[in-house]
Structure 1
Amino acid sequence: MDANTITTAASSSSFPWLSLIVLLPAVSALIIQFLPQKQDESPDLFRNIAIGVLAFDFLIILFVLSQLFTSQSSDLQLIERTTWLPSIGLEWSLGVDGISAPLVALSGLITLLSATASWKITNKPKLYFSLLLIQASAQALVFLSQDFLLFFLAWELELVPVYLLIAIWGGRKRLYAATKFILYTALASLLILVSGLALALSGDSFTLNLSELTARSTSGTFGLLCYLGFLIGFGVKLPIFPLHTWLPDAHGEANAPVSMLLAGILLKMGGYALIRFNVQMFPEIHIQLSPALIVIGIVNIIYGALNAFAQDNVKRRIACSSVSHMGFVLLGIGAINTLGINGAMLQMISHGLIAAAMFFITGSFYERTNTLSIPNMGGLAKALPITFALFLTSSLASLALPGMSGFVSEITIFLGITSQDAFTSIFRSISILIAAIGLVLTPVYLLSMCRRVFFGPRIPALAMVEEMNSRELLIALSLLVPTLFIGFWPRIATDLFETSTDAIASNLLASNLITIAPIVYLN
């Protein structure tokens, strides 16, 4: 699909709905800064404003996706394009398609629940909830931007609130974790910027429009370098091994609401960008390097699972499991067919819900026990039966129990690899066999954690802790119920993006397969 096709087939809207989704939280954050705050004033005002704004923003997202967005079209829709800074070619260019639509909805839901989970924030509440609102705007702008420079600005903007949220409201090693996070992601951003600008300058005319960049046929050494620049830059956020080491530290020190944002949304930005840039803009190069992505994905799956065994901190163990689960996204992207990309999209949605639920529930019993050390917990099932039931449910969803979203996404990815006839049967068999080891390891480290935390000898100091309240129960169910619906009826999610993934896969098939290794590709 070329740029002209995209432009003529895409739909626009007379009302700037997408701009409203992006700007409403950020404008609200600025308004909050002008509200007075006395030393004896409770944080209720700022919290309620943030929750109200995010709830309204999420309702707008649902309205746009259900009433204005057409999932039967793979073209960009609801396009808003206005020249912003003509001297540098920057445009306020927004649009939505099947790849971005479900992730915008996921972002809106998890950010709303994260603000609701921040009920007990009393330290600098005005700044805290302002940062959450700015983060919501930046996240939406990443998924909706159709101008590279605008995308990059949003990509950079969302780093600042996360850094401050960890550095100010994190644990004892919060400054170390926050600094490590910003160094990794900021350095990776340099590769993204250089690769994007090089691509923008490569044609007959300079352009930052993503549709026009996608229409350019970029291959050879130049295309390979741009592809690798994007892969490393976006891979840090995914994260891919060995660029993942910031993640356990960030999760280990961040509070539960910020961990919900990290696991539920920020990691998905990496997967989204790989599809939007690497797969769509460099189809021929992506086909050549797809076996390498599958190998990296397998390393992520096995390494993340094995590393999880070594963690005695609940949040760090869940963080390592995220490294493992995001490896499946790489497998799906590397499968270079509709099933694989569908599985990658579904895995991002599924993991976003499940990981956010696990971190929230972990934060809930941390508030009651004041410990995340697995050896220092035990026998909590009797004291916290509802918390135990919810944590076990989220663990079962994470280990891909049939009937839950994780099972559907991972089996779809496996089917994507096995049905890819471009790969030799040996490569497909070995890839599935090794990746399946991760499926065996996942229930071991998750269920062993459940056993050690909720069963075993009861620790007297934890025998009288209070159970979840109704607000916490509602947050947990808001994350877990969708995983059940998707598990039993996957079309709730796949209908949003299937047409777009079909178009991406068709474009890949239209590219020439280049046999670079007989052991991988069929001659």
Structure 2
Amino acid sequence: MLTANFPWLTTSILFPIAASLLIPFIPDKDGKTIRWYALVVGLIDFAILVYAFYNYYDFSTSEMQLFESYTWVPQLDLNWSVGADGLSMPLILLTGFITTLATLAAWPVTLKPRLFYFLLLTMYGGQIAVFAVQDMLLFFLTWELELIPIYLLLSIWGGKKRHYAATKFILYTAGGSLFILLSALGMAFYGDTVTFDMRSLMQKDFPLTLQLWFYTGFLIAYAVKLPIIPLHTWLPDAHGEATAPVHMLLAGILLKMGGYALIRMNAEMLPAAHATVAPALVILGVVNIIYAALTSFAQRNLKRKIAYSSISHMGFVLLGIASFTDLGLSGAVLQMVSHGLIGASLFFLVGATYDRTHTLMLDEMGGVGQKMPKIFSMFTACSLASLALPGMSGFVAELMVFVGFATSDAYAPPFKVLVVMLAAVGVILTPIYLLSMLREIFYGPENKTLTSHEQLMDAEPREVFIISALLVPIIGIGLYPKLLTQIYDVKTQQLTARLREQVPSLAQKTPTETILQAFKPELLKAPTLDRVQ
């Protein structure tokens, strides 16, 4: 493991939490000082993450880096252990980036600003911790840490049905978290030693039956967070009532916790069970893509339309995780980062549009493009990114998942063809409902029943900056994916090799052979130069 002399990750986790505790003591009457304080704290913490990444992260190794471990409860081998590798580092950076922008997006908040920014900064540290901790019990505690802030952010600053949405969120996620604790305890107490250390747990020889029980427990918890249908219903309700900065945190970071944990716990720590359950993940992924896309197509509420679109896009993560190919798993990680950026941008623009039109119903909108050209342009660009326009990150991620799954020899050809065809239906539906959404909001005659249209104001510089900051990595990754993939390529390749060992038919095949066999089977049968001679 590569280490740094300074505890960078611990600092990035504890700094915003400690800074949030000072908010009650900052003199402020109208909340302006508090919001600047929160923004500066967010920028400093993001700068810490970028500095540590730039100076101490090595792309050429799959080992845990920036590792720190401090004894906490020695009787249980429970330690404060944090580190970053190819799976967690991109999401740690994404967390810092999105949360800092969400702090800036919260500028108009005037109701209880001290409590609002206190919760925002507390979540900042907790979200980084979820991706960084290397102890199962500590992972459970940090996973739970974000529940209370989100619950309060929804129930206090949400819409008319905020209490219902917040209660549903806490019941679903807290209920799912119980399965994390049960599986973690079972893994920790199995065998001769009691340990919650993830590296030690990976070395334990769990029988397949026991692995399947642990895998199922984790899957239920992460299916809620990802979310996977039918455990998804909390998300449209939460998005339907949330404010713009909370939208950004939900779409940009919280959903990625489920995908990350599914790779880290289910695939990496329980590979034999993953090889057994992978076909079910493929089916669930296809259901996510098709069902959520069709539901999004039918939604007339703008927030719920984008929420179901998010669920559909996360189905590609499941396909990539279950593909047993380097390309598919790499595409799954890229899709998580890409959707974090695109989802945050779309939901921020939904909030900005609502602030001006005071409605979320598409039937009540129309013709606002001429009065809000900047918002129209930004909304169009982000929607094109979401529908996977070539040159943007969404296209690269979905293409990698498609090709990675199509070239996998873990599944029979008829099954692969069926899955690819069904997933393609979701890809076709996405531009239909997104472009029709743009048409109903911005094109056509103005709806005269909305008197607020006469007072519509275009995007202010703060809003333009937030969307520009999100579009830069979206386009940058789309044009040059190596900007991101080089961070985790070595790790995903190592993990794929570990997973392929669990499937006898894949153990002796290299990824190159798999791809050649999928596209041109005769190449594998071609005579060698020695035979020709």
Class of the TM-score when normalised by the shorter of the 2 chains: over 0.9
Please state if 1:79 is matched with 2:67. yes
Q: Which residue of 1 aligns with 2:278?
A: 290
Q: Which residue of 2 aligns with 1:146?
A: 134
Q: Which residue of 1 aligns with 2:41?
A: 53
> In structure 1, how many angstroms separate the alpha carbons of the residues matched to 2:232 and 2:101?
26
Q: Which residue of 1 aligns with 2:105?
A: 117
Q: Which residue of 2 aligns with 1:466?
A: 457
1:214-246 CA-to-partner distances (Å, cap 9, x unmatched) read 222323211101001101111100000000000
> In structure 2, how many angstroms separate the alpha carbons of the residues matched to 1:176 and 1:127?
21
> In structure 1, how many angstroms separate the alpha carbons of the residues matched to 2:337 and 2:294?
24
Q: Which residue of 1 aligns with 2:325?
A: 337
Which residue, 182, 195, 198 being the options, matches 2:183? 195
> In structure 1, how many angstroms separate the alpha carbons of the residues matched to 2:17 and 2:446?
47
> In structure 2, how many angstroms separate the alpha carbons of the residues matched to 1:270 and 1:177?
20
1:59-94 CA-to-partner distances (Å, cap 9, x unmatched) read 111111111111111000111100113344321101
Q: Which residue of 2 aligns with 1:255?
A: 243
Please state if 1:383 is matched with 2:374. no
> In structure 2, how many angstroms separate the alpha carbons of the residues matched to 1:437 and 1:204?
50
What is the deviation of 1:36?
A: 4.3
Does the CA contact (< 8 Å) of 1:331 and 1:344 recur in 2?
Answer: yes
Please state if 1:368 is matched with 2:356. yes
> In structure 2, how many angstroms separate the alpha carbons of the residues matched to 1:332 and 1:220?
23
Which residue, 20, 43, 48 being the options, matches 2:11? 20
Moved more, 11-20 or 494-503: 11-20
Does the CA contact (< 8 Å) of 2:251 and 2:343 recur in 1?
Answer: yes
Does the CA contact (< 8 Å) of 1:58 and 1:109 recur in 2?
Answer: yes
Does the CA contact (< 8 Å) of 2:158 and 2:243 recur in 1?
Answer: yes
Q: Which residue of 1 aligns with 2:306?
A: 318
What is the deviation of 1:274?
A: 0.3
Moved more, 441-450 or 460-469: 460-469
1:479-503 CA-to-partner distances (Å, cap 9, x unmatched) read 1121111010000110111110011
Q: Which residue of 2 aligns with 1:6?
A: none
Which residue, 509, 512, 515 being the options, matches 2:500? 509
Does the CA contact (< 8 Å) of 1:288 and 1:513 recur in 2?
Answer: no
1:438-484 CA-to-partner distances (Å, cap 9, x unmatched) read 00111111111110011122124214400001111000111112111
> In structure 2, how many angstroms separate the alpha carbons of the residues matched to 1:483 and 1:514?
38
> In structure 2, how many angstroms separate the alpha carbons of the residues matched to 1:13 and 1:219?
37
Q: Which residue of 1 aligns with 2:90?
A: 102
What is the percent sequence identity of the aligned residues?
Answer: 49
Moved more, 120-129 or 307-316: 307-316
Alignment of 1:394-473 (within 5 A): 394-460=382-448, 461=451, 462-473=453-464
Please state if 1:169 is matched with 2:157. yes
> In structure 1, how many angstroms separate the alpha carbons of the residues matched to 2:159 and 2:78?
39
Moved more, 166-175 or 302-311: 302-311
Paired residue type of 1:439 = V
> In structure 1, how many angstroms separate the alpha carbons of the residues matched to 2:415 and 2:386?
27
Note the aligned Cα RMSD (angstroms).
1.3
TM-score (norm: length of structure 2): 0.93
Alignment of 1:304-315 (within 5 A): 304-315=292-303
> In structure 2, how many angstroms separate the alpha carbons of the residues matched to 1:144 and 1:237?
18
4+ residue runs of structure 1 moved beyond 6 angstroms? none
What is the deviation of 1:366?
A: 1.1
> In structure 2, how many angstroms separate the alpha carbons of the residues matched to 1:306 and 1:124?
39
Please state if 1:477 is matched with 2:468. yes
> In structure 2, how many angstroms separate the alpha carbons of the residues matched to 1:219 and 1:376?
58
Which residue, 160, 173, 176 being the options, matches 2:148? 160
Does the CA contact (< 8 Å) of 2:228 and 2:311 recur in 1?
Answer: yes
What is the deviation of 1:422?
A: 2.1
Paired residue type of 1:513 = P
> In structure 2, how many angstroms separate the alpha carbons of the residues matched to 1:197 and 1:480?
42
Which residue, 493, 496, 502 being the options, matches 2:484? 493
Which residue, 226, 229, 235 being the options, matches 1:238? 226
What is the deviation of 1:21?
A: 0.6
1:3-34 CA-to-partner distances (Å, cap 9, x unmatched) read xxxxxxx1122211111110010000011123
Paired residue type of 2:71 = T
Which residue, 25, 30, 36 being the options, matches 1:34? 25
Q: Which residue of 2 aligns with 1:7?
A: none
Does the CA contact (< 8 Å) of 1:288 and 1:514 recur in 2?
Answer: no
TM-score (norm: length of structure 1): 0.95
Q: Which residue of 1 aligns with 2:513?
A: none
For this pair of structures, how many residues does the alignment match?
504
Q: Which residue of 2 aligns with 1:519?
A: none
Helix, strand or coil at the partner of 1:347: helix
> In structure 2, how many angstroms separate the alpha carbons of the residues matched to 1:480 and 1:250?
25
Does the CA contact (< 8 Å) of 2:76 and 2:196 recur in 1?
Answer: no
Sort the Cα spacing of 1:398 and 1:219 in 2 relative to 1 into closer, same or farther, 3 A: farther
Paired residue type of 2:418 = I
Q: Which residue of 2 aligns with 1:5?
A: none
Paired residue type of 2:67 = I
Paired residue type of 1:175 = H
> In structure 1, how many angstroms separate the alpha carbons of the residues matched to 2:491 and 2:240?
36
Does the CA contact (< 8 Å) of 2:297 and 2:429 recur in 1?
Answer: no
Unaligned runs of 5+ in 2: 507-533
